[in-house]
Amino acid sequence: MQCIKQNHPIANDSYFLFSSALILLILQSLLRVVLYWRNADLAVGIPSTDILNAFLTGIRFDLIITVYAMVPLILGFLLKNGLRNRKICIACLTIVSLVIVFLAVLELDFYHEFHARLNSMVFEYMQEDPATVISMIWHGFPVVKYLAAIFLLTAILYYTFSFVSRMTPHHNSDNPSYVVRLSLFILIMLMSAVAARGTLRQGPPLRWGDAFHSQHLFANHLGLNGTYTLTKAIMASDKSKKHWLKKMPLDQAILDTASMLHNDKDTLLASDISPVYRKYAASQGLSDKPLNVVFILMESFSAEFVGAMDHDDGITPNFDKLSKQGLLFDHFLSNGTHTHQGMFASLACFPNLPNFEYLMQQPEGNTAFSGMIKMTADRGYQSMYIYNGDFAWDNQKGFFGTQGMQRFIGRHDFINPVFSDPTWGVSDQDMFDRAAEELAAQPSDKPFFAFLQTLSNHTPYALPSPLPVAEVTGHGELNKHLTAMHYADWALGEFFKKVEKQPYFNNTIFILVGDHGFGTEKQITDIDLLRFHVPLLIIGPKVTEKYGTLNHTVGSQVDIAPTLAGLLGGETTHSCWGRDLLNTDDAGFAIIKPSGSDHTTAIVKGDKVLVKLEDSSQKLYQYTLGKAPHAEEIDTDKTILNHQLDAYIESATSNLLQRKVGLENTTPVN
């Protein structure tokens, strides 16, 4: 074999290859520094050793991306003239760098908003309505500055690769034998294969869960690579669905889930195939006559800024006042971290499951669920849905029309609104004003169910000018978000001022809940618990006399419909994956999961939360909410909580895939 000497073509090709790989590694580490800087408020209190560990772990994930990025150049070693055509090599490297830089810049605000690395939410947003998403991005973020930064950094990288190419020129003389070139190719491929695993250990290669080394979620997320997580989301398949169906025998999962949900007032109707299809014989309801139901889903209404939840920021004075008129649940959680999940969990009474986070748009969601719409329809109620935006978003009209919703009033049905932003639609005050008019016009001889959904508290936070409330200050980058929340609270207060004067008011149950929270500087547990913490408030005749003004039971949005069934009284047949929170004898539980392809799941039970990471490893915490939320990892047996989490998800997934989520006309079990 010929000796490889400096300025030899194959030697310089090797120098160019490894130098370019090093540049990509350095680039990704620098982009991680930028991500850290953009979210520096989340790093407060994290030990420097954890941050350092995150960057070291990140290099391993970066190495995986780098190896795959270098594959075209590595294959070039098989060519007779190797990497002689450096223009093509530089073009490939520049394109790869552009993609990495673009995704990193995209992730700056993505992570700031969702506290998650890039995942399937990127695709879900874009395929839903690109025009709306582009409008949201254009009006909500510094797009021009970001594009300029991307262009500048890509140009710098282009000239850097060009410089490296000039320093390692490919000479046409002294071409080595093909045996030498093939041998070097095999050596580089072996090195690349090891590097692409991200680890030297035997067994599986570097995985998502390997980044989770710290008690602090941001440090764990910092160790990941956004290009890596997005690629994993693209490559996701039905394999994950089957994973959740193999946790235990299905009949065992059904039995154990039933024991989690049922009480002595439930009659199970199909124990062999469904743990939830049952007849609920509630005791006396709030009234002897039918009560109207108004369900209000508040956009991004985080409990962490609600005064009635022991926070003194002054953001929600109207909700705080209303909370004294009703029953407030202070340990209530959203099932997901996106409005989509908040809608189907609350109204269709079905949990947010791995692989089915966007159920309203998936084929499996094209079935009749059993929730508030059906419960009220079975009692002869008229139904309506009033919304600021377009019902095409998230397939809302298609999904809720299938569930039996009768009337839809959306952004195109408002005449001369006070304010309408180009992205989402009319303002919250317009939505509530129209709702007040519609409710007042309902016939008095027939009960109604109304679903009202707010939208102003969403990026780009376009609000009327002048604002009817003072802008929020003192919260840094959250000021704009909290101003929108403050405005939504004001609109809610104005709505109640109107409806309190109506004759139907004392014959109506009002249910108010946040669709999800949002990211703050506090990340509690590995599932970022505060992003799920929302208030649930129930106002109705004799609610406080019968149930008091505060309830600490843990619950989630799938519990709303069964709780409503109890408030209405009488018998209700349903297939809800929750239970009546006012008829429990324990501290309550909730099954939660973030949006997107992040398959982290958790069960919150009493003051404990078990978080199961994507690699199935588990962490158990003891937590507190309120003015100073906190969580501490504890070393206690996780077996029971882990089993209950697995059983619940497996049985729900199985029922969904088998289209058994809305069973009817089933013979009761003896």
Instruction: Express each pLDDT in 210-237 by its tens digit.
Output: 898 888 999 999 999 999 999 888 776 5
Peptide bond into 466 cis (omega under 30): yes
Assess whether 155 and 289 both reside in one domain.
no
| CATH number of domain containing 594 | 3.40.720.10
User: For the segment 56-102, what is each residue's pLDDT rounded down to a tens digit?
Assistant: 999 999 999 999 999 999 999 888 888 889 999 999 999 999 999 99
- Mean pLDDT (whole number) for 289-301: 97
Token code pair at residue 181: 């070139």
CA distance 348 to 351: 9
Active site residues: 339
- Mean pLDDT (whole number) for 283-295: 93
Lowest mean pLDDT among 133-137, 309-313, 639-643: 133-137
Please, which pLDDT band fits residue 4 given cuts at 50, 70 and 90?
very low
245 domain-assigned? no
SS3 292: strand
Assess whether 483 and 578 both reside in one domain.
yes
Does residue 206 contact residue 61 with C-beta atoms inside 8 Å?
yes
Assess whether 30 and 116 both reside in one domain.
yes
Task: Cite the annotated binding site for Mn(2+) by residue number.
Answer: 299, 339, 515-516
- The residue range of the domain holding 546 is 250-657
Query: In the listed set 235, 262, 288, which residue is the last one of a domain according to the structure?
Result: 235
427 domain-assigned? yes
**Is the per-residue pLDDT at 5 higher than 60?**
no
Single-letter amino acid, residue 39: N
Assess whether 229 and 335 both reside in one domain.
no
- Cα Rg for the chain, rounded, in angstroms? 28
Assess whether 475 and 623 both reside in one domain.
yes
Please, which pLDDT band fits residue 182 given cuts at 50, 70 and 90?
confident
Please name the residues in contact with 138: beta carbons below 8 A apart, sequence gap of 6 or more: none
Token code pair at residue 117: 């690395």
**Is the per-residue pLDDT at 669 higher than 60?**
no
> With the C-alpha atoms ordered 59, 65, 70, 74, is the resulting torsion angle positive or negative?
positive
> Closest by alpha carbon to 176, among 370, 8, 398?
8
pLDDT at 273: 74
Does residue 100 contact residue 227 with C-beta atoms inside 8 Å?
yes
Share of the chain above pLDDT 90, in %: 74
118 domain-assigned? yes
240 domain-assigned? no
Does residue 515 contact residue 534 with C-beta atoms inside 8 Å?
yes
Please, which pLDDT band fits residue 172 given cuts at 50, 70 and 90?
low
Q: How many CB atoms lie within 10 A of CB 352?
A: 28
Query: In the listed set 235, 258, 283, which residue is the last one of a domain according to the structure?
Result: 235
Q: Are strands 589-592 and 570-574 parallel, antiparallel or unpaired?
A: unpaired
Token code pair at residue 323: 């909370």
645 domain-assigned? yes
Please, which pLDDT band fits residue 597 given cuts at 50, 70 and 90?
confident
565 domain-assigned? yes
Token code pair at residue 500: 């309190």
Query: In the listed set 206, 235, 264, which residue is the last one of a domain according to the structure?
Result: 235
Assess whether 228 and 259 both reside in one domain.
no
Length of the chain: 670
> Closest by alpha carbon to 396, among 432, 438, 347?
347
Assess whether 291 and 419 both reside in one domain.
yes
CA distance 98 to 106: 12
Query: Residue-wise over 409-438: b if at least 16 C-beta within 10 A, else e?
Result: bbbeebeebeebbebbbbbbbbbbbbbbeb
> Closest by alpha carbon to 608, among 574, 571, 636?
636
Q: How many domains does the chain have?
A: 2
End-to-end CA distance of the chain: 84
Mean pLDDT of the chain: 91
User: For the segment 240-263, what is each residue's pLDDT rounded down to a tens digit?
Assistant: 666 788 889 999 999 999 999 998
Single-letter amino acid, residue 63: L
Assess whether 208 and 298 both reside in one domain.
no
Specify the residue for token string 């509690």. Answer: 524
Assess whether 207 and 346 both reside in one domain.
no
Lowest mean pLDDT among 140-149, 205-214, 451-460, 602-611: 205-214
Measured N-to-C along each axis, helices 178-197 and 48-69 cross at an angle, to the nearest 10 degrees, of 140
- Would you call 626 exposed, middle or buried from its count of C-beta atoms within 10 A (0-12, 13-18, 19+)? middle
Share of the chain above pLDDT 70, in %: 96
pLDDT at 521: 87
pLDDT at 666: 44
Q: How many CB atoms lie within 10 A of CB 300?
A: 25
> Closest by alpha carbon to 544, among 582, 514, 571?
582
Please, which pLDDT band fits residue 123 given cuts at 50, 70 and 90?
confident
pLDDT at 668: 40
Task: Cite the annotated binding site by residue number.
Answer: 299, 339, 458, 515-516
2 domain-assigned? no
Assess whether 256 and 370 both reside in one domain.
yes
Task: At 385, give phi and psi (nearest 5°).
Answer: -130, 120
Please name the residues in contact with 544: beta carbons below 8 A apart, sequence gap of 6 or more: 325, 326, 327
**Is the per-residue pLDDT at 665 higher than 80?**
no
CA distance 237 to 355: 9
SS3 337: coil
Q: What is the pTM of this model?
A: 0.90
Assess whether 362 and 437 both reside in one domain.
yes
Q: What is the largest distance, in Å, between two alpha-carbon atoms of the chain?
A: 98
> With the C-alpha atoms ordered 121, 427, 303, 44, is the resulting torsion angle positive or negative?
positive
Assess whether 482 and 574 both reside in one domain.
yes
- Helical H segments across 353-505, by residue range: 372-378, 396-402, 428-440, 479-499
- Mean pLDDT (whole number) for 163-184: 80
Q: Are strands 292-298 and 508-514 parallel, antiparallel or unpaired?
A: parallel
